[in-house]
Amino acid sequence: MPIAVIVFMPLIVAYTTWVYHVLRGRISRKHIRESHSLY
């Protein structure tokens, strides 16, 4: 089990950090309307 933690924990932390970085910031209705034509 410790080996699995050593291998997978950095991957989980890296993925979580990347997702937070990509999805950061607030979004407004104006932004949604400008970027998506179906709304």
Q: What is the DSSP letter of 38?
A: T
Q: Which residues are within 8 A (CB) of 32 and not within 5 positions of it... i.e. 6 or more apart?
A: 39
Judge whether residue 15 has pLDDT over 90: yes
Contacts of 36 (CB under 8 A, 6+ apart): none
What is the DSSP secondary-structure string of 7-37? HHHHHHHHHHHHHHHHT-S---HHHHHHH-T
pTM score, two decimals? 0.60
Average pLDDT, the chain: 88
Confidence of residue 37 (pLDDT cuts 50, 70, 90): low
pLDDT of residue 35: 76
